[in-house]
């Protein structure tokens, strides 16, 4: 049994992977976000709930705070009980590179008055320190490429491949470090560095898109087409939280298996700017079932601005139901599916279990309420 726990961490990512092997349960973690700045980040709370005693691997896809917030607390909790650390390319094998990187962060830290930015910088540097201290440099890897297989302990029957970013992407980032550019903190260009992974188990492909960019996906497609290689995702965590630019039709058609009927899109976002309504429209047209951790704007995040993109008219009954189930707007977020659990059993059967089984218009859940 292979299970993915997509945690509701607002606009950010945090995914726990659980694999039941003959030797027992093993766990991995991809990214962490702690939007409410809890003493224990959501991923750590969930791992403890699952009873995870150690982690086979931890992945940090790229250096944006909504992907690493809370990660130091997790590494410290599992100190010396983490097998491998995989992250975006920072050039740790280049002599003096870590020192150069920390020097840039120190310069930014000293020049800003923003306490939020200071905290973010300190947290990212702490990750590097903790990885060296508790996991060890020999277990720290920077995989990239188009089909780069990694082999963490315990995932014997599961194929795990890093499919983004292309190796060429690290060059511009290394130049930013050498020049001491402050862009290494919050620039949108850092999404180019994002790792994306593909898990294959019992002939099912699960793609975790990180914040992979449209340009990188197109580059990946061109490379794989030349080798007659295809991605056949039956479950895809959409890149960049379902953004309009990075989840264009070409990308979605490439990532999903066109032959399957049970295609699932996981969207981890806060519902404000992501997922974009055009992305939800494409999913609906392609009969891909979306599961969003939080309500999207079109589905009730701003109930007074409710729009439709699939049906011409909503019945009064449907409108009333939406207003009934919509949570109060003053709350930080409005959960839709909440935490989402996706499991694949030994027969290859796919099951999905959301925290909140709220019906979804994009999946036709409210069809019975419409006038015919």
The domains of the chain are located at: 2-369
Look at residue 157 and give its three-state secondary structure: coil
What pTM does this model have? 0.92
Quote the strand ranges of the chain, DSSP E: 2-6, 15-21, 24-30, 55-60, 82-87, 140-141, 148-150, 159-164, 196-201, 204-208, 233-237, 264-267, 289-292, 340-344, 350-354
Please identify every stretch of the chain with a pLDDT value under 70, giving residue numbers as ranges: 300-333, 366-372
The pLDDT tens digits of the residues spanning 7-32 come to 999 999 999 999 998 889 999 999 99
- CA-closest candidate to residue 53, choices 76, 87, 78, 18: 78
Q: Mean pLDDT of all residues in the chain?
A: 89
Instruction: Give the per-residue pLDDT at 178.
Output: 80
Instruction: Give the per-residue pLDDT at 78.
Output: 98
Rounded distance, CA 306 to CA 284, Å?
A: 17
- CA-closest candidate to residue 232, choices 345, 362, 348, 59: 348
The pLDDT tens digits of the residues spanning 235-264 come to 999 999 999 999 999 999 999 988 888 899
Burial class from Cβ neighbours inside 10 Å (0-12, 13-18, 19+) for residue 262 reads middle
- CATH architecture of the domain covering 2-369: 4-Layer Sandwich (3.60)
Backbone angles phi, psi at 366, to 5 degrees: -105, 15
């Amino acid at each position: 049994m292979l299970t993915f726990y997509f945690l509701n961490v607002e606009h950010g990512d945090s995914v726990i992977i659980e694999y039941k092997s003959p030797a027992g349960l093993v766990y991995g973690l991809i990214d962490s976000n702690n939007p409410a700045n809890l003493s224990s980040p959501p991923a750590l709370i969930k791992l403890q709930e699952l009873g995870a005693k150690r982690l086979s691997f931890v992945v940090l896809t790229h250096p944006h705070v909504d992907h690493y917030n809370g990660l130091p607390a997790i590494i410290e909790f599992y100190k010396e009980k983490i097998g491998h650390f995989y992250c975006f390319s920072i050039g740790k094998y280049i002599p003096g590179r870590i020192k150069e990187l920390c020097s840039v962060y120190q310069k930014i830290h000293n020049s800003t008055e923003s306490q939020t930015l200071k905290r973010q910088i300190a947290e990212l540097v702490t990750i590097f320190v903790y990885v060296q201290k508790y996991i060890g440099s020999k277990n720290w890897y920077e995989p990239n490429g188009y089909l780069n297989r990694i082999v963490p302990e315990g995932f014997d029957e599961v194929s795990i491949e890093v499919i983004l970013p292309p190796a060429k992407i690290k060059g511009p980032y290394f130049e930013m470090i050498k020049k001491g550019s402050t862009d290494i903190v919050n620039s949108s260009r850092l999404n180019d560095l994002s790792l994306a992974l593909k898990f294959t188990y019992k002939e099912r492909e699960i793609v975790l898109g990180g914040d992979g960019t449209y340009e990188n996906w197109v580059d990946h497609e061109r490379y794989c087409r030349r080798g007659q290689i295809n991605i056949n995702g039956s479950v895809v965590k959409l890149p960049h939280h379902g953004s309009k630019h990075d989840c264009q039709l070409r990308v979605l058609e490439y990532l999903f298996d066109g032959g399957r009927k049970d295609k699932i899109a996981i969207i981890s976002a806060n519902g404000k700017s992501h997922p974009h309504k055009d992305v939800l429209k494409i999913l609906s047209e392609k009969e891909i079932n979306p599961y969003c951790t939080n309500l999207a704007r079109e589905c009730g995040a701003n109930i007074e601005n409710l729009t439709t993109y699939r049906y011409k008219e909503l019945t009064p009954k449907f409108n009333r139901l939406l207003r009934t189930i919509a949570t109060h707007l003053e709350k930080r977020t409005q959960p839709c599916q909440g935490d989402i659990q996706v499991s694949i059993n030994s027969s290859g059967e796919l099951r999905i279990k959301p925290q909140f089984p709220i019906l979804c218009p994009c999946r036709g859940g409210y069809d019975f309420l419409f006038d015919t």
